[in-house]
Amino acid sequence: MRHVTGRARRAGVALAAVLTWAGLLAGAAGCSGDSRSGLDRVLGKPPAPEDAIRVTPRDGAREVRPGQALRVRVPDGRLESVKVVKSQDAQEAEVPGRISADGRGWSPADGRLALAARYTVDAVAVDGDGHRSARHTTFTTYVPEERFIGYVTPENRATVGTGMIVSLEFNREIVDRAAVERAVHVTADPAVEVRPHWFGTSRLDFRPEHYWKPGTRVTVSLRFRDVEGAPGVYGLQYRTFSFDVGRHQVSVVDAAEHTMRVRREGELLATVPITAGAPKTTTYNGKMVVTEMLDVTRMNGATVGFKKKNGKGEYDIPDVPHAMRLTESGTFLHGNYWASPEAFGRVNLSHGCVGLRDVKGGGADTPAGWFFDRSLIGDVVEVVRSKDKTVAPDNGLGGWNMNWGEWTAGSAVK
């Protein structure tokens, strides 16, 4: 019979204990389904924060694209709180979102990430064993190299005539016109339906069916920031501005009669003698809107295609007074001091503009000065009975020459 020493007995007891613990741990691990070791479960050790609370995009991620989802979730247990803060353009804002009904996930109210922003996520959760865990993560989003912006007419806080059309000229070609159109909101008080129309891929105009009602306040909201207008080209602006509609004034130029009848609120203010385009350089017919008013400006024929054989303009007048732009192609209604006074009301001799009698330097008591002082940007000047075509609707703010069906058909949102 072997003699068992005290040391051997102690070793046997220790080995039995190890085997017993191993069996317990194996059983614990096999029944729990938890990714933690059985030892952690038996000892009550909480999981690592990154296992207990899982955040996407991952902690420290950079150049995250706006289409990637922001999510916070737990494999078991429930989320107690989630706070997400967005830092963009030196401003911080909490991102609204909600925890799901089962407490296992959180998602933002707006699923699209902002560009050029830093996000901070702070979440607290309790697992199935009652252990509380906290997680703090950060990530940054993609900074695009190409941006688009829209140049807006009219200006903020302007008072305009009833014919004003809201017009946006984009600095880049817009491919996803529907997405950009949805990011513009034009509202009126008192309310009236306002609809958009695209001219090509870089201009978007808005107007009601009929001229604005005097006293209307129009508000334009641009929500272009992070909208992808073309592949890799994202919007930059996020702003709101308003303008007011003043009194209603429409002036009708009769090129055959050589007169302009000025009506305000439907009543005739005056009949003014004019000179329109000469037979070889006629004036456009149709409704045109005053988009620019200049006390004095230079007019050079070479800039609008009227050149002599030597390349110089057929005319170059450095001080045209009381000039009001009607089209982008160069049609103005302006003061004229160089023509004979007898020409006004009798003959058409301009290069396509509408001329009113004036004096050099501009006179306040001349027909041109009188009309200039009673006009607003946004007023309508309509030319009739000229031996020319109707002005194109995208030449200046010529959209009033389209009927409502034609106008509304120009929307990219079907």
In a shared domain, residues 268 and 177: no
In a shared domain, residues 152 and 235: yes
Closest CA to 328 of 396, 382, 400: 396
Higher pLDDT pick, 192 / 88? 192
CB 407 within 8 A of CB 206: no
In a shared domain, residues 354 and 268: yes
Q: Determine, yes or no, domain membership for 388.
A: yes
Domain limit, last residue, from 140, 159, 192: 140
In a shared domain, residues 167 and 133: no
What CATH number should be reported for the domain holding residue 210?
2.60.40.3710
pTM, entire model: 0.77
- 159-212 pLDDT, tens per residue? 999 999 999 999 999 999 999 999 999 999 999 999 999 999 999 999 999 999
Higher pLDDT pick, 25 / 244? 244
Q: Determine, yes or no, domain membership for 204.
A: yes
pLDDT, position 45: 65
- 267-321 pLDDT, tens per residue? 999 999 999 999 999 999 999 999 999 999 988 876 666 666 566 667 688 999 9
Give the highest mean pLDDT range of 57-71, 140-154, 390-404.
Answer: 390-404
In a shared domain, residues 226 and 335: no
Catalytic residues: 334, 353
- 346-377 pLDDT, tens per residue? 999 999 999 999 999 999 999 999 999 999 99
In a shared domain, residues 273 and 239: no
% the chain with pLDDT above 90: 78
Long-range contacts, 20-27 (Cβ 8 Å, 24+): none
Q: Over the chain, what is the mean pLDDT?
A: 88
- 372-394 pLDDT, tens per residue? 999 999 999 999 999 999 999 99
pLDDT, position 90: 75
**Quick one: DSSP state of residue 304?**
G
Q: Determine, yes or no, domain membership for 262.
A: yes
Residues 56-69, mean pLDDT to the nearest whole number: 93
Residue with tokens 């997400």: 84
pLDDT, position 414: 85
pLDDT, position 67: 85
Residues 3-15, mean pLDDT to the nearest whole number: 42
Residues 223-230, mean pLDDT to the nearest whole number: 94
Closest CA to 207 of 197, 221, 219, 217: 197
- Domain ranges, residue 269: 249-397
Q: Is the pLDDT score of 232 beyond 80?
A: yes
Tell me how many domains the chain contains: 3
Q: Determine, yes or no, domain membership for 158.
A: yes
**CA 189, CA 219: separation in Å to the nearest integer?**
8
What is residue 367's three-state secondary structure?
A: helix
Q: Determine, yes or no, domain membership for 169.
A: yes
Domain limit, last residue, from 246, 278, 294: 246
At residue 204, what are phi and psi to the nearest 5 degrees?
-135, 120
What CATH number should be reported for the domain holding residue 57?
2.60.40.3780
Higher pLDDT pick, 189 / 46? 189
pLDDT, position 313: 65
In a shared domain, residues 258 and 330: yes
Domain limit, last residue, from 190, 220, 246: 246
Residues 313-337, mean pLDDT to the nearest whole number: 92
pLDDT, position 28: 37
Q: Is the pLDDT score of 55 beyond 90?
A: yes
pLDDT bin (cut points 50, 70, 90) of residue 403 is: very high
- Convert 4-39 to b/e letters by CB count within 10 Å (16 or more is b): eeeeeeeeeeeeeeeeeeeeebeebbeeeebebebe
pLDDT, position 10: 42
Q: Is the pLDDT score of 85 beyond 50?
A: yes
Among the residue ranges 68-82, 156-170, 243-257, 290-304, the one predicted with the least confidence is 290-304
Residues 3-12, mean pLDDT to the nearest whole number: 43
Q: Is the pLDDT score of 2 beyond 80?
A: no
In a shared domain, residues 326 and 284: yes
Higher pLDDT pick, 111 / 268? 268
pLDDT, position 307: 64
Q: Determine, yes or no, domain membership for 69.
A: yes
In a shared domain, residues 299 and 387: yes
What CATH number should be reported for the domain holding residue 292?
2.40.440.10
pLDDT, position 312: 65
Dihedral sign of CA atoms 241, 290, 396, 308 in order = negative
In a shared domain, residues 213 and 311: no
Q: Determine, yes or no, domain membership for 279.
A: yes
Residues 116-131, mean pLDDT to the nearest whole number: 93
In a shared domain, residues 277 and 390: yes
What separation in angstroms does the CA of 58 have from each of 69, 74, 140, 348?
11, 14, 10, 73
**Peptide linkage before 341 cis (omega within 30 of 0):** no
In a shared domain, residues 270 and 235: no
pLDDT, position 205: 98
